Amino acid sequence: MTFIADATRAKKAPAAAAGMPFRNTAGQTGTAAAATGNQEQWQVSDTDSQFDLRRRHPFARFHLLANAVQSQVARCRLRCSLDVSYGSTAGQKLDIFPAQTSKAPVFLFIHGGYFRALDKSQYRYVASRMVRQGYTVVLVNYDLAPTVRVAEIIRQVLASFHWVRENIPEWNGDPERIMLCGHSVGAFLAARILEEERPGSSGIRKAALLSGLFDLEPMKRSFLNRDLHLSDADAANLNPRAEAITERPDILVAVGSRETGQFISQSKDYSRRLANAGIRNRLMVLPRINHYSMSRLLASRRNPVMDWISGSSHS
C-alpha cells in the first residue's frame, strides 16, 4: 500500500552511465558504507553514508542509462529550444519543449545532484510524458559547486523562474499556470522559489517536491562539503522557510521508502513545517521507491506522483 497523508495545520558525484551527458565540477567522493538500522535515526559518523547513494543503490546506473536513452529520444522527436540563456554564465541555461497549443500550462523541472553534479540534458525524457499531457516543459540548469557557492545557485534558480515568467509565452506557455517540480536538491531550490517575495502572483498552481533535502546542516557535516564549502551561516540562513510562503499552491512532498533516513526524515519534517504554517500539503512515502526510481516516475503514465500532477487519485 502507498502511504499517503494529507498534512494540514490543526491550527497552524557520480560517474556517468555510458553515453550520458554529465556535468560534475569535482570527482565523486565518499567513504562510508550504506546506512543500516532505523531509517529515521543516524549518528554523525554515519552522515556520509546517508548521502552516498551510488554505494547504497548499485543498480542506479541502469536508471541513469534509461534516462540518457529516453532523453535522447525526446530531443529527436520533440520540438525544442536547447540551452536558452537566462543569465550570463555557462550554467544558466534552459531547455524548453513547447506545447502544441498556446496558453498551455508550464511544467518547470529543477534537477538535483547535491549542487555539484548532473545536468538538465539527463532529464529531457520528462518532456515526452508532459508534452503529451499538454504542458510546455522547461528544464533548468545552473552553475555548479565548487565553482559557485550554494547561495549563488539559489540566486540563479530564482532568476530562471523570473525569466520563465516573462518569456514563456513565446513557447506557448501560460505564466499563470505553472507546475513546479524539483528532485533531490532540486526540491530544495523549488521550495526557495515558493517562498520568494514578489509583487503579484507567482503563477504557481502546484509544486511537487520529490526526494527532497531541505536542511543544509547535515550536508555541511558530510563529505559533500569538500565541494560545497557551506559555512555555519549558510546552514542557518539558506534553508527553505515554510512559514515564508504567502501563496497557497497545492504542494506534494514525496519520498521513497527505500531512501536513506536523511531524505525520509527531511521530507516528513518539511511537510510538517508546511502544515504548521497553515499550508495544506500531501505527504507520500512510496513503497519500493528509491532516490533514482523516484525521478523515473515522471516517465510513467500511472503512478501516485503522476496521478497527483494530473489531478486524479491513485493509491
Query: Per-residue pLDDT tens for 103-149?
Result: 999 999 999 999 999 999 999 999 999 999 999 999 999 999 999 99
Share of the chain above pLDDT 70, in %: 84
Phi, psi dihedrals of residue 89, rounded to the nearest 5°: -100, 170
DSSP 200-236: S---EEEEEEES----SHHHHTSTTHHHH---HHHHH
Domain boundaries, the chain: 3-13+41-310
* C-alpha dihedral (187, 192, 198, 203), degrees to nearest 10: 10
Which of 250, 244, 271 is closest to 105 using CA atoms?
Answer: 250
Q: DSSP for the chain?
A: --EEEEE--S---PPPPTT----BSS----------S-TT---GGGHHHHH-HHHH-TTHHHHHHHHHHHHHHHHHHS--EEEEESSSSTT-EEEEE--SSSSEEEEEEE--STTTB--GGGGTHHHHHHHHTT-EEEEE----TTTS-HHHHHHHHHHHHHHHHHHGGGGTEEEEEEEEEEETHHHHHHHHHHH---SS---EEEEEEES----SHHHHTSTTHHHH---HHHHHHSS--GGG--S--EEEEEEETTS-HHHHHHHHHHHHHHHHTT--EEEEEETT--HHHHHHGGG-SSSHHHHHHHT----
Higher pLDDT, 7 or 98: 98
The arrangement of secondary structure in 3-13+41-310, i.e. its CATH architecture, is 3-Layer(aba) Sandwich (3.40)
Residue pLDDT, tens place only, 25-53: 443 333 333 333 344 444 444 899 999 98
CA distance 62 to 296: 11
Average pLDDT over residues 160-188: 98
Contacts 24+ apart (CB under 8 A), 231-234: 234/149, 234/150, 234/151
User: Could you tell me which residue, 37 or 75, shows the higher pLDDT?
Assistant: 75
Q: How high is the mean pLDDT of the chain?
A: 88
- What the block records as the C-alpha cell of 310 is 494530473
Lowest mean per-residue pLDDT among 2-6, 118-122, 161-165: 2-6
